[in-house]
Structure 1
Amino acid sequence: MSTITRNALQSSYPPKEHKDFNANQPKTIRLYPLSNYTFGTKENQPEEDPSVHARLERLREHYQEHGMRRTCEGILVCHEHNHPHILMLQIANAFFKLPGDYLKPEEDEIEGFKARLNERLAPVGSQFSGEGVNDEWQIGDTLAQWWRPNFETFMYPFIPAHATRPKECKKLYFIQLPASKVLSVPKNMKLLAVPLFELYDNTQRYGPQLSAIPHLLSRYNFEFMDESGNVVAITPGTGPKGSAPQTQVLTGGDQDTPATMNGDTQ
């Protein structure tokens, strides 16, 4: 009996047979365990702007010179206890952000996005070596587009009717993580692994963009892999029993300081 079948039959009552219900689904995504990845730190990357006002003023200057700003961020997914977790950054023990940033005016979208991911997450120098260090980012589907209609903090998942010239568009991409990879974050940031159930309907803590991620990922089916590369659970279904998933600080920041909970408003 296969591992997948065993997991589906853990209950003393076998599941009911049902008709196939996978029409027009996108491809099934393989998720690898958090333990497959190596995490480190690198030099600080201070924020460019000392205040929200300064950030919006820089946006205004960018718009006047180059037009709408293009921002790319990545949804990096792994699993712990067969439940999807999102890798995200926490800055100043307060604000949560996905890896990525705005593109330079002259940059190609995908190549520029890869450069931003490397700035945030790639190891530097000889800090690490071996398989998984220099693997190129696999940029997947665009899962969401958020629009900033004016020079203000609010962004929307649509262009308001009165806005004909949005000032910024932020695209969220699905990033397919390989079986293993080395990730390093600036020392002034934390890298967190946040379970989907923690994000769901939690706008007060994470803001509207991050709390919408479970909705964005619901279009996919997942295969959950173990450290040896075997499929141990699939969607739908459950895997082996274990500890309840929870947000984990992977590296960076002052890990002894409790996190305050404010969503990203950038």
Structure 2
Amino acid sequence: MYLKTETRADRLLRLRANYEAHGMRSCVAAVIVVELFKHPHLLLLQVQNSFYRLPGGRLLRGESDTDCLIRKLSSKLSAGEDGRGPEWEVGECLGMWWRPDFESLLYPYLPPNIKRPKECIKLYLVKLQPSRRLSFLRTSDFSQSHCANFMRTKRIPLQTYGPVVSGVPQLLSKYSFNMVEPET
């Protein structure tokens, strides 16, 4: 909603006000690897045809990382399941990204001169259950009649798409993936 109407100055004021009221923003994001054409792809959300991001979001006050990630994944990726269905299997934390100021730059480390970071994003490996159903929109299915803040689910080959997403292949390099043929 903010993307279309908010100016950069308005965004900066909103972020400062949120920081003063609630402190550092804590977020979680899911790294979900799916197979397509016998090649690993990363599951991403495309926001308003402008950028890609990992599924996840901001923690509510008192909420654990795992609970937040399950809540966000169920609301964004459990199409047709009404949030029910197989549980999400949240694995280990792969890494953390830090926003030292209100600008858009994120770092895979907390710079030593920063005493009060503005945001922390933790990336968790999430394993899909074989019975988990996800829906993917084709570009032809998407029209302007959809809500302005609609996010399309995309399967993207492990390539460079922004600082956080481009770091995922290195984080995943310690794992071995077995591609399994689906039962028909």
Would the TM-score normalized by the shorter structure come out above 0.5?
A: yes
Q: Match of 1:162? A: 113
| Among 140, 160, 176, the residue aligned to 1:221 | 176
| Among 112, 121, 126, the residue aligned to 1:175 | 126
| Among 191, 201, 205, the residue aligned to 2:153 | 191
Q: Match of 1:118? A: 74
Inter-CA distance 183–80: structure 2 relative to 1 (3 Å threshold): closer
Identity level (%): 38
| Among 99, 102, 116, the residue aligned to 1:148 | 99
- Cα distance in 1 for partners of 2:2, 2:76 equals 12
| Among 86, 93, 101, the residue aligned to 2:57 | 101
Q: Match of 1:207? A: 162
1:62 aligns with 2:18: yes
| Among 63, 73, 88, the residue aligned to 1:137 | 88
CA contact (8 A) 1:59 1:69 kept: no
Inter-CA distance 95–48: structure 2 relative to 1 (3 Å threshold): closer
Inter-CA distance 84–59: structure 2 relative to 1 (3 Å threshold): same
| Aligned residue type for 1:167 | K
Cα distance, 1:47 vs structure 2: 5.1
TM-score by length of 2: 0.82
SS at match of 1:87: strand
CA contact (8 A) 1:120 1:184 kept: no
- Cα distance in 1 for partners of 2:63, 2:136 equals 23
Cα distance, 1:208 vs structure 2: 1.2
Q: Deviations over 1:146-195 (max 9, x none)?
A: 00111111110111121011111001111101113223589522111111
Inter-CA distance 77–217: structure 2 relative to 1 (3 Å threshold): same
- Cα distance in 2 for partners of 1:185, 1:224 equals 20
- Cα distance in 1 for partners of 2:4, 2:58 equals 14
- Cα distance in 2 for partners of 1:104, 1:49 equals 25
Inter-CA distance 104–119: structure 2 relative to 1 (3 Å threshold): same
- Cα distance in 2 for partners of 1:67, 1:84 equals 37
SS at match of 2:63: coil
- Cα distance in 2 for partners of 1:165, 1:60 equals 13
Unaligned runs of 5+ in 1: 1-45, 230-266
C-alpha RMSD over aligned residues: 2.5
TM-score by length of 1: 0.59
- Cα distance in 1 for partners of 2:68, 2:38 equals 33
* Matched positions, count: 172
